[in-house]
Amino acid sequence: MNNFFNYIDRPSPIHKITGAAKLVCLILWTFAAMTSFDTRFLAAVSILGVILFNVSGISFKDVKAVLIFTFGFMAFSAVMLFLFSPEHGVEIYSTRSVICELPGKYALTKEQLFYQLNVLVKYFATVPVVILFVSTTQPSEFAASLNKIGVSYKIAYSVAIALRYIPDIQREFTDISRANQARGIEMESKKISLVKRLKNSAAILFPLIMSSMDRIQIIACAMELRRFGEKSRRSWYHQRPFALPDWAAMALCGVLLAISFLLFKVNGSRYYNPFI
Partner 1 sequence: MKTPIIEFNDYTFRYDAQSEPTLYNINLTIYKGEKIIIAGPSGCGKSTLISCINGLIPFSFRGQAYGEVKIEGKSTLDMSIAELSKRVGTVLQDSDNQFIGLTVGEDIAFALENDCIPLPEMTERVKGAAQSVGVGDHLSHAPHELSGGQKQRVSLAGVMVDEVPILLFDEPLANLDPATGKSAIELIEQIRKERGVTVLIVEHRLEDALQRGADRIVLMKEGRIIADCSPNELLSSDLLLKTGIREPLYLSALKYAGVSVTPEKKPGNIGEMVIDPEDSQRVRSWVKSIQKSAPKEKKTPIVSLKNVSFAYQNGKEALSGITSEICEGEMLSLVGKNGAGKSTLAKLICGFEKPARGEILLKGEDTAKLSIKQRAEHIGYVMQNPNQMISKTTVKEEVAWGLRLRGYSQEETEDKLNEILKVCGLYPYRNWPIGSLSYGQKKRVTVSSILVLSPEMIILDEPTAGQDFGHYTEIMEFLKNVNSMGVTIMMVTHDMHLMLEYCERALVLSDGKLIADDKPEKILTNSDIIEKAALKETSLYELALKCSLEEPGGFVGSFIEYERSFKGHE
Q: Where on the chain is the footprint of partner 1 (CB under 8 A)?
A: 1, 138-140, 161, 164, 168, 172, 175-176, 178-186, 203-204, 206-208, 210-211, 214-215, 218-231, 233-239
Instruction: Pick the closer one to partner 1 by CB: 193 or 235.
Output: 235
Angle between helices 153-183 and 139-148 (to 10 degrees): 150
Minimum CB distance to partner 1, residue 232 (Å): 9
Q: Which residue's CB is nearer to partner 1, number 122 or number 164?
A: 164
Which amino acid would we find at residue 61?
K
CA distance 11 to 49: 18
Nearer to partner 1, 77 or 212 (CB): 212
Nearest approach, Cβ of 266 to partner 1 (angstroms)? 45
Contact of 84 with 106, CB cutoff 8 Å:
no
Q: Which is nearer to partner 1, 180 or 273 (CB)?
A: 180
Nearer CB in complex with partner 1: 112/137: 137
How near is the Cβ of 205 to partner 1 at its closest, in Å?
Answer: 9
The Cα 18–Cα 256 span in angstroms is 20
Cα 176 versus chain centre, distance? 28
Query: CA geometry: angle at 24 spanning 23 and 26, to 5°?
Result: 65
Q: How far is the CB of 10 from partner 1 (least distance, A)?
A: 14
CB of 65 to partner 1, least distance (A): 15
Choose between 87 and 172: whose C-beta lies nearer to partner 1: 172
The SS3 of residue 2 is coil
Cα 112 to Cα 107: distance, rounded to the nearest angstrom:
9
> Are 139 and 156 contacting, i.e. CB atoms less than 8 angstroms apart?
no
Q: How far is the CB of 143 from partner 1 (least distance, A)?
A: 10
